[in-house]
Amino acid sequence: MLLFFALGLLVHFVFFASIFDIYFTSPLVHGMTPQFTPLPPPARRLVLFVADGLRADALYELDENGNSRAPFIRNIIMHEGSWGISHTRVPTESRPGHVALIAGFYEDVSAVAKGWKENPVEFDSLFNESKYTWSWGSPDILPMFAKGASGDHVYTYSYDSKRQDFGAHDATKLDTWVFDNVKDFFHHARNNQSLLSKINEEKIVFFLHLLGIDTNGHAHRPSSRDYKDNIKKVDDGVKEIVSMFNHFYGNDGKTTFIFTSDHGMTDWGSHGAGHPSETLTPLVTWGAGIKYPQRVSAQQFDDAFLKEWRLENWKRLDVNQADIAPLMTSLIGVPFPLNSVGILPVDYLNNTDLFKAESIFTNAVQILEQFKVKMTQKKEATLPFLFTPFKFQVIQDLVASLLTYPLSHFVGYLLVFTLGTEVLVLSFFYRYMLTIGLTAFAAWPFLTQLWTRAKVTSLSWTFFSLLLAVFPLMPVVGRKPDISLVMGAGLLVLLLSLYVVTSLTKRKDSFTKEELLVHLLQVLSTVLSMYVVYSTQSSLLRKQGLPLRNQIISWATLASSLIVPLLSSPALFQRLFSILLSLMSTYLLLSTGYEALFPLVLSCLMFVWINIEQETLQQSGVSCKQKLTSIQFSYNTDITQFRQLCLDDIRRAFFLVFFLVTAFFGTGNIASINSFDLASVYCFLTVFSPFMMGSLMMWKILIPFVLVMCAFEAVQFTTQLSSKSLFLIVLVISDIMALHFFFLVKDYGSWLDIGTSISHYVIVMSMTIFLVFLNGLAQLLTTRKLRLCGKPKSHLM
């Protein structure tokens, strides 16, 4: 049995890893021949402004007084250059966006394992192909284009990463730093002959990365005055830099200017997914080689932006984000980046038809070179008889015979099981399917004899099932922060704690002084968490940053959340309640709105589940009913008490899988980056740290899982259900779901479509493996016991 279980885990590890081997290995190839247009380019130098996190509508729209937030840029659109919308792809993050802009391809999927910072595979870029590139901005962006560049010709100037503070008083200083350092650079060049000769060369690039708008968007939302004022600051800075360039180079007409953004931002201050507010970014170009504004009488687009922005009479030229890279290379006459898949937008070029034809031909040859190298590599690594065009797999019907059951029972069980499995599969795409499932759960006691045997327990089950069913209908967390709901959740925890402690102290020999001290400590931790949440919110609104005192309390609460429960009584109810109190203190610190109520409601349903399983156990006649108050978690379980599987165990396993999926998608979609809000971690830190912030948000996701698994540990104890038997049932359910998602995996479409389909498959395939580790953590939390001191027990009378 143990060998079979281990072999099953090994097979699932192999299947789990196979998806990453297939989809998360780099698609980039090397060995192509550089391609460039043989004709003289229109520009000697190019200046690239990237306003990180700038939405297209935020730049182009007029304010309530009919004035532009960026008057200089708008004047360019109307009198000097060409404009349009740059359509980004998901993930709408800073690194993928800059790679698309500067290297011309959409982010190598293997880079996600590097946190979008380090280059997992070296790639070619506009900077690498230039003669010299000077760049100023964030330390998170600039190094990835300098690392791997051939030779020593890409120069970076970055501020300290600690400046990227979401709680800072004025994030516009990040942009001011860039503008000031560029001006100082040119001032210094006048007195440095070596530097002066370099910046007077041709085929050179100046890159200004402006992070202030993105930082203000995260901290204050795009609708805030801070975000809008930052746009005005950037517009003023761009105006000064353009004037300085023209003056420095004597208005020689050989400078091209590109102004764009890497990604947009949602109304609630996040980015990463595919909402139009994230994928629509501005593109404004002017200078050498760029067409002047084109007046038109009518334009055909599927949106109403032109009228909203009052730009319907100026021709709008939309591009895909990767198309900007070949546009910039053709303007200064350097080879197209070798890995670029962008298509040259010739409508932006102000040049002869011959130049446009040569440029687009070179662009096509450069893309064809990648195909040839990829095909050669594939042939060399594949057996000849296997190198054939892909043909679609036929799924044959699965025929099963269960002769031991009557046909009517078999059909009934099959229909219920199939319907339940399909609800689980659909819940990955439509969260409201969880509401339908929980509503069905609420009706379950009334379809059995439970209603007649235990009315109070049945009504409680129905009430909390319906209450939990509300959460999947709510908007994804983070979009509308509401600290009052977090405070309300904390208050409910305190009231529940008061009720429980009062009830337990009335029972003789049920509560020691040591255990009472532990519960009081947890109540104090909850109060402190509420204080920290409120205090941090107030401090950030006043732009005073994160108080050090709050930060210390938050980290201390997090560190103690898995230790304090081990000091409580091993009695089933008391230990589970202690785990809830500890985890809720941490969850409150990581909450921004209604999601703070989710683990509390989920835990209430879990407590009722434990009670209702006691009723079903007695109903089935498996064993005599035990009192929950007399059951204690024990680390050394007698395996002789385990019983054989029955049909009710399939339901219990299905309940477990359903509750775990509810924990996944109850308040958001963890398969989407857009479900996360950085404001969730502001009680712990505000300085940008992707791995630390990601770890904190991952722990927030895991807390509901731990609560579910601890509750199921109690169900296992009370029903004498073996963990190995449980995993066999869960294995069957998860494999059937995985089969669905296996055929839904996509290798075409947007990055979001591909990534989501893979993440769904990985989540289901890893469910069994995940349960093993969660079960171990749940056993640790429920069965282990620590003592504050070695004194004998002293019970409260």
The string over 586-620, giving b where at least 16 C-beta atoms fall within 10 Å of a residue's C-beta and e elsewhere, is bbbbbbbbbbbbbbbbbbbbbbbbbbbbbbbbeee
Let me know whether 617 and 717 are in one domain.
Answer: yes
Give the containing element (helix H, strand E) for 45: strand 45-51
pLDDT at 644: 66
> Is residue 680 a contact partner of residue 533, using CB atoms and an 8 Å limit?
no
Q: Is residue 717 part of a domain?
A: yes
Read off φ and ψ for residue 290, nearest 5 degrees. -105, 140
Share of the chain above pLDDT 70, in %: 84
Q: How far is residue 329 from each of residues 332, 344, 348, 356, 796, measured CA to CA in Å?
A: 6, 9, 13, 13, 80
Q: Is residue 448 part of a domain?
A: yes
Residue 477 has pLDDT above 80, yes or no: no
Band the pLDDT of 117: cuts 50, 70, 90.
Answer: low
Mean pLDDT of 490-515: 79
Residue 509 has pLDDT above 60, yes or no: no
Residue 79 has pLDDT above 90, yes or no: yes
Q: Structure pTM?
A: 0.67
pLDDT at 651: 83
Tokens standing for residue 755: 């990534």
Let me know whether 338 and 433 are in one domain.
Answer: no
Read off φ and ψ for residue 377, nearest 5 degrees. -65, -40
Q: How far is residue 97 from each of residues 86, 89, 408, 577, 689, measured CA to CA in Å?
A: 11, 8, 57, 46, 19
> Is residue 590 a contact partner of residue 683, using CB atoms and an 8 Å limit?
yes
Structural domain ending residue among the three candidates 351, 377, 407: 351
741-750 tens-digit pLDDT? 877 877 655 5
> Is residue 155 a contact partner of residue 133, using CB atoms and an 8 Å limit?
yes
Structural domain ending residue among the three candidates 324, 351, 378: 351
Let me know whether 578 and 481 are in one domain.
Answer: yes
SS3 479: coil
Band the pLDDT of 230: cuts 50, 70, 90.
Answer: very high
- Of the listed ranges 112-126, 268-282, 320-334, the least confidently predicted one is 112-126
Let me know whether 345 and 442 are in one domain.
Answer: no
Task: Look up tokens 């081997």; give the residue.
Answer: 21
Mean pLDDT of 523-542: 92
Tokens standing for residue 240: 């000064």
**Nearest residue to 263 (alpha-carbon basis) of 423, 52, 61, 121:** 52
**Average predicted confidence (pLDDT) for the chain:** 84
- Of the listed ranges 117-121, 207-211, 493-497, 499-503, the least confidently predicted one is 117-121
Mean pLDDT of 715-736: 77
Let me know whether 483 and 573 are in one domain.
Answer: yes
Let me know whether 314 and 446 are in one domain.
Answer: no
Considering only residues 257 and 776, tell me which one the structure prediction assigns the higher pLDDT: 257
- Of the listed ranges 24-33, 201-210, 287-296, the least confidently predicted one is 24-33
**Nearest residue to 485 (alpha-carbon basis) of 356, 322, 667:** 667
SS3 86: strand
Let me know whether 347 and 430 are in one domain.
Answer: no
Q: Is residue 104 part of a domain?
A: yes
Strands 204-210 and 45-51: parallel
SS3 525: helix
Residue 641 has pLDDT above 70, yes or no: no
Residue 725 has pLDDT above 80, yes or no: no
- Of the listed ranges 2-11, 445-454, 776-785, the least confidently predicted one is 2-11
Q: How far is Cα 423 from Cα 658, in angstroms, rounded to an integer?
A: 9
Let me know whether 449 and 308 are in one domain.
Answer: no
Band the pLDDT of 797: cuts 50, 70, 90.
Answer: very low
Q: How many domains does the chain have?
A: 2
> Is residue 316 a contact partner of residue 299, using CB atoms and an 8 Å limit?
yes
Strands 82-87 and 132-137: unpaired
Q: Is residue 382 part of a domain?
A: no
> Is residue 218 a contact partner of residue 10, using CB atoms and an 8 Å limit?
no
Q: Dump the DSSP string for 251-289.
A: T-S-EEEEEE-S----TTS--SS--HHHHEEEEEEEETT
- Of the listed ranges 64-73, 441-450, 763-772, the least confidently predicted one is 763-772
Q: Is residue 385 part of a domain?
A: no
Mean pLDDT of 53-69: 94
Structural domain ending residue among the three candidates 312, 332, 351: 351
- Report the Cα 711 to chain-centroid distance in Å: 28
> Is residue 225 a contact partner of residue 66, using CB atoms and an 8 Å limit?
no
Residue 223's domain is classified under what CATH number? 3.40.720.10
Band the pLDDT of 19: cuts 50, 70, 90.
Answer: low
DSSP state of 759: H
Q: How far is Cα 624 from Cα 718, in angstroms, rounded to an integer?
A: 10
**Nearest residue to 252 (alpha-carbon basis) of 49, 77, 44:** 44
> Is residue 628 a contact partner of residue 573, using CB atoms and an 8 Å limit?
yes
- Of the listed ranges 351-355, 625-629, 680-684, the least confidently predicted one is 625-629
Residue 426 has pLDDT above 90, yes or no: no
Q: Is residue 409 part of a domain?
A: no
DSSP state of 52: T
Considering only residues 595 and 676, tell me which one the structure prediction assigns the higher pLDDT: 595
517-532 tens-digit pLDDT? 888 899 999 999 999 9
pLDDT at 763: 78
Band the pLDDT of 385: cuts 50, 70, 90.
Answer: low
Residue 629 has pLDDT above 60, yes or no: yes
Considering only residues 446 and 74, tell me which one the structure prediction assigns the higher pLDDT: 74
Q: Is residue 357 part of a domain?
A: no
* Amino acid sitting at position 27: P
Mean pLDDT of 337-365: 94
Mean pLDDT of 343-360: 95
Share of the chain above pLDDT 90, in %: 45
Let me know whether 333 and 455 are in one domain.
Answer: no
Q: How far is Cα 265 from Cα 57, in angstroms, rounded to an integer?
A: 11
Band the pLDDT of 459: cuts 50, 70, 90.
Answer: very high
575-594 tens-digit pLDDT? 899 999 999 999 999 998 88
Considering only residues 307 and 476, tell me which one the structure prediction assigns the higher pLDDT: 307
Band the pLDDT of 570: cuts 50, 70, 90.
Answer: confident
Let me know whether 677 and 761 are in one domain.
Answer: yes
- Of the listed ranges 20-34, 129-143, 198-212, the least confidently predicted one is 20-34
Q: Dump the DSSP string for 532-599.
A: HHHHHHHHHHTT----HHHHHHHHHHHHHTTTGGGGS--BHHHHHHHHHHHHHHHHHHT--SGGGGHH
pLDDT at 520: 87
The length of the chain is: 797
Q: Is residue 731 part of a domain?
A: yes
Q: How far is Cα 44 from Cα 253, in angstroms, rounded to an integer?
A: 9
* Amino acid sitting at position 464: F
Q: How far is residue 491 from each of residues 517, 527, 529, 530, 707, measured CA to CA in Å?
A: 20, 9, 11, 9, 20
Tokens standing for residue 682: 């502001």
Q: How far is Cα 446 from Cα 452, in angstroms, rounded to an integer?
A: 9
pLDDT at 93: 86
Q: How far is Cα 280 from Cα 59, in angstroms, rounded to an integer?
A: 11
Let me know whether 655 and 774 are in one domain.
Answer: yes
Q: How far is Cα 118 from Cα 330, in angstroms, rounded to an integer?
A: 28
Mean pLDDT of 158-166: 81
Residue 672 has pLDDT above 90, yes or no: no
Let me know whether 644 and 760 are in one domain.
Answer: yes
Give the range of the structural domain holding residue 573, as residue numbers without chain letter: 424-783
Q: How far is Cα 605 from Cα 457, in angstroms, rounded to an integer?
A: 11
pLDDT at 467: 95
Mean pLDDT of 73-88: 96
